[in-house]
């Protein structure tokens, strides 16, 4: 059964700092991984999707990497801003092919202090 773990559970940094959020998953036979942002009481905003054939995906100040063999992904945020404060979730399908559902981690709550 696919399990997703995100470390740390919470992170507080000063504005301008570069930071890394970690995601690990138990079944490495996935075909993609998706990172989301969730603001308090709100829905999930898709940030990046990495296909299993990719090692990295970039969008603006965000860079996500995927290492399937070790069951890990990282989300790198450059030059953090107070507006980046949110909970960041990673999600994977339970196995390669045959299921479209996503299995989520519990998230990392990021606070960027001005």
Partner 1 sequence: EPEVTQTPSHQVTQMGQEVILRCVPISNHLYFYWYRQILGQKVEFLVSFYNNEISEKSEIFDDQFSVERPDGSNFTLKIRSTKLEDSAMYFCASSRVYEQYFGPGTRLTVT
Interface residues with partner 1 (CB under 8 A)? 31-32, 34, 36, 41-46, 49, 51, 89, 91, 99-107
Residue among 32, 38, 73 at smallest CA distance from 53: 32
DSSP per-residue letters across 31-97: SEEEEEEE-TTS-EEEEEEEETT-SEEEETTEEEEEETTTTEEEEEE-S--GGG-EEEEEEE-SSSS
Which C-beta is closer to partner 1: that of 71 or that of 94? 94
Smallest distance from the beta carbon of 113 to partner 1, in angstroms? 23
Q: How far is the CB of 49 from partner 1 (least distance, A)?
A: 4
Which C-beta is closer to partner 1: that of 80 or that of 105? 105
Task: Report CA torsion sign: 24, 30, 31, 35.
Answer: negative
How near is the Cβ of 9 to partner 1 at its closest, in Å? 11
Question: Considering beta carbons, is residue 43 or 83 the nearer one to partner 1?
Answer: 43
């Amino acid at each position: 059964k696919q399990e997703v773990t995100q470390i740390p559970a919470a992170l507080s940094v000063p504005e301008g700092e570069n930071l890394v959020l970690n995601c690990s998953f138990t079944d490495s036979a996935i075909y993609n991984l998706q990172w989301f942002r969730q603001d308090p009481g709100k829905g999930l905003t898709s940030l990046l999707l990495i296909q299993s054939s990719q090692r990295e995906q970039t969008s603006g100040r965000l860079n996500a990497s995927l290492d399937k063999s070790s069951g890990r992904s990282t989300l790198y945020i450059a030059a953090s801003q107070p507006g980046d404060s949110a909970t960041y979730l990673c999600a994977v399908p339970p196995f390669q092919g045959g299921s479209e559902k996503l299995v989520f981690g519990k998230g990392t709550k990021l606070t960027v202090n001005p």
